[in-house]
Structure 1
């Protein structure tokens, strides 16, 4: 299967009480069959959330859904698959309703 490769980095900026945190990062590589950066760009143009919220939603959803797809035979992921598919369909429908009909699909 062809896939894009990404380096994902999460850096802690503050703790739960707002205190600065330095030097705490998590970095890993992930493959995905979709262009994640393009998806987030299209989502930012279509959804009524701030850019960071849209990026979090898009990246989190696509990373999770890729694992669910790859592990579809695992009972844990089989259980969530119908709800995940319904959520993605609703997200696509919502964004399609908010823009002109001639624009393409979101995810």
Structure 2
């Protein structure tokens, strides 16, 4: 993997922190086109299920974000969830989506 810039490292760190703080299966963070960041974790309720990345995108949209520059998810999964990546693509067609392991090491970029 190539070196991430400081802004991309920030969203990986935010995603990792959100996951650690709650003990969730995943943590995610997105950066909008104004430079604001939004972090979230997996939502697993009887009536609502969202991946961490879907929840972070929802938080950005609910705050008025009109576009996304980048996204990161910290997960133990072997691949990015297609529906989660699609949610990012709805607001940022070319936004990189970083998948990192629990240590914060980026193992995939979509």
TM-score w.r.t. length of structure 2: 0.24
Which structure has more RCO (C-alpha within 8 Å, separation ≥ 6)? 2
Quick check: which one's strand share is greater? Answer: 2
Quick check: which one's helix share is greater? Answer: 1
